[in-house]
Amino acid sequence: MRQLLTTEAFNQAIIDFDDFGTSTHLVPFEWEVNGQTGTTIKAFNEYWTRRQRQAHSLHEISYRACFKPQLPRFFIERLTQPGDAIYDPFMGRGTTPMEAFLLGRRPLGNDINPLSRLLLQPRLNPPTIKEIENRLDKIDLSHAEEEYDGLLAFFHKDTLCEIISLKEYLLKREESGEIDNIDAWIRMVAINRLTGHSEGFFSVYTLPPNQAVTIKRQEKINANRNQVPDYKEIKARIIKKSKSLLKDWKELESPGMDPSCVLATGDSRFASSIEDNSAQLVVTSPPFLDVVNYQADNWMRCWFIGIDSSDINISQLKSIKEWEATMTGVLTDLRRIVKPGGHIAFEVGEVRGGTVLLEENVVRCGVMAGLEPIVILINDQEFTKTANAWGIENQSKGTNTNRIVVFEV
């Protein structure tokens, strides 16, 4: 177990970091915000790497623009102790809360998309494979009431019948209050298996599972590839993916889901479900301007859980001014949530060909929110998952660095 570091010791550890054979390169960044001036060091190095061991299998849920688990682990291990609460106001698939849970910390999370909670919560209290198999055996997937012929561009008619039958079963269980961790797990895996580019998914070949294309676009893909959807039996695929997710999970060592864990759905500027002075650390990554359209990416997943993605008020912030105003609001709320002496690690990536250095805007936002920027980590690497997520060829364009502004509260 690493020793908990003070702010001064953390900064020195960043300056001295050479775990992967390279020395840290330091560049001062001078800033001025509303008459207040300061200098914050940008520290360039490879702080986490592909050469590290693989992340825990429970992380392997597809979601657009998610960071590697090694990123929150880096800060959690150095700036918190077991039992501390770790918060992410833009939790997405739940990488930060999941890693906090696996490291014996208390996970807190929020996201404006209700899909996020459904993707994370079941992984904090996993059922056994036997429980999953037994539950699936009892679910009749041969009768579907809803008709959605447009989805035949993605699925064989019999596969679509099974998907809709499962959707209707889960919605009825939700409405009756009977849904349990086994049903929630099955829903989470099914969401993740809807569309993709291999045999493990329910669909015919399409784009990666974190970005569902439109029906018209899928029809073009089918025509270009001269393909038609084959029948895919969904129960077997749910079980196979469940075994993969649970391969690192030791049931007898499971502490179970902490009842004090809070996973909220709402605007990250006003996270009223998260108490004042409740978190020791925040590790988060907000939307990078208008780089990703999360509503469009998740339309089918939202359909499966019974909501219209267009009803989710996910901001597409096109201008720096809009983005700064929103992030200042988020950081102001984080100042309320984080304990005095705690820290916020706010990650952004390269956008618009590297012409916009969002980490410098984050410093501005934090200072306007009353926070003190202590260091800016620039994690250099050949490519990241985020680069793949933009649909851009690795090592050419897109995000190839993590840029994290660390604040002390």
Give pLDDT tens digits for 67-104: 889 999 999 999 999 999 999 999 999 999 999 999 99
Confidence of residue 66 (pLDDT cuts 50, 70, 90): confident
| Residue 403's CATH number | 3.40.50.150
Confidence of residue 393 (pLDDT cuts 50, 70, 90): very low
Summarize the confidence of residues 264-289 as an average pLDDT: 94
Summarize the confidence of residues 345-352 as an average pLDDT: 82
In a domain, 307, yes or no: no
In a domain, 258, yes or no: no
Which residue type occupies 273? S
Q: What is the pLDDT of residue 386?
A: 41
**H or E, element range at 243:** helix 234-245
Q: Which residue has the higher pLDDT, 28 or 396?
A: 28
Summarize the confidence of residues 178-187 as an average pLDDT: 97
Do 30 and 93 share a structural domain? yes
Summarize the confidence of residues 114-140 as an average pLDDT: 96
Q: What is the pLDDT of residue 291?
A: 57
Whether this model's pTM surpasses 0.75: yes
Q: Is 403 left (phi over 0), alpha (psi -120 to 50) or beta?
A: beta
Sheet holding 279-284, edge to edge: 25-33, 36-45, 372-380, 401-408, 338-348, 279-284, 85-88, 106-111, 262-265
Chain-wide mean pLDDT for the chain?
89
Summarize the confidence of residues 332-338 as an average pLDDT: 98
Residue 97: CB partners within 8 Å, gap ≥ 6? 86, 88, 91, 107, 108, 109, 120, 124, 261, 263
Do 165 and 107 share a structural domain? no
pLDDT at residue 290 is higher than 70: no
Q: What is the pLDDT of residue 50?
A: 60
In a domain, 230, yes or no: yes
Do 34 and 76 share a structural domain? yes
Q: What is the pLDDT of residue 132?
A: 98
d(CA 381, CA 51): 11
Do 280 and 388 share a structural domain? yes
Do 70 and 176 share a structural domain? no
pLDDT at residue 292 is higher than 70: no
Confidence of residue 298 (pLDDT cuts 50, 70, 90): confident
Which two structure tokens, joined as six digits, stand for 162?
């099974």
Q: What is the pLDDT of residue 217?
A: 94
User: What are the b/e assignments for 3-35, b being 16+ CB within 10 Å?
Assistant: eebebeebbeebeebeeeeeebeeeebeeeeee
Do 66 and 174 share a structural domain? no
Confidence of residue 179 (pLDDT cuts 50, 70, 90): very high
Count of C-beta atoms within a 10 Å radius of residue 205: 17
Count of C-beta atoms within a 10 Å radius of residue 125: 18
Summarize the confidence of residues 278-286 as an average pLDDT: 97
Do 274 and 352 share a structural domain? yes
Q: Is 253 left (phi over 0), alpha (psi -120 to 50) or beta?
A: alpha
The fraction of the chain above a pLDDT of 90, given in percent, is 74
Confidence of residue 195 (pLDDT cuts 50, 70, 90): very high
Do 322 and 232 share a structural domain? no
Count of C-beta atoms within a 10 Å radius of residue 199: 10
In a domain, 346, yes or no: yes
Which two structure tokens, joined as six digits, stand for 80?
């918190």
Do 273 and 206 share a structural domain? no
The least confident of 195-204, 211-220, 310-319 is 310-319
Do 277 and 174 share a structural domain? no
Q: What is the pLDDT of residue 251?
A: 60
- Total number of domains in the chain: 2
In a domain, 94, yes or no: yes
Q: Is 391 left (phi over 0), alpha (psi -120 to 50) or beta?
A: left
Confidence of residue 207 (pLDDT cuts 50, 70, 90): confident
| Sign of torsion over alpha carbons 173, 176, 177, 178 | negative
DSSP state of 203: S
Do 146 and 271 share a structural domain? no
Q: What is the pLDDT of residue 394?
A: 42
pLDDT at residue 349 is higher than 90: no
Q: What is the pLDDT of residue 391?
A: 40
pLDDT at residue 164 is higher than 70: yes
Find residue 27's DSSP bridge partners. Answer: 42
The fraction of the chain above a pLDDT of 70, given in percent, is 87
Do 396 and 278 share a structural domain? yes
Confidence of residue 384 (pLDDT cuts 50, 70, 90): very low
In a domain, 215, yes or no: yes
* Nearest CA-CA partner of 108 in 255, 270, 278: 278
Range of the domain at 328: 7-114+267-295+316-408
pLDDT tens per residue, range 100-119: 999 999 999 999 999 999 99
3-state secondary structure at position 273: coil
Summarize the confidence of residues 168-187 as an average pLDDT: 97
Q: What is the pLDDT of residue 366?
A: 98
Q: What is the pLDDT of residue 381?
A: 66
Summarize the confidence of residues 230-236 as an average pLDDT: 98
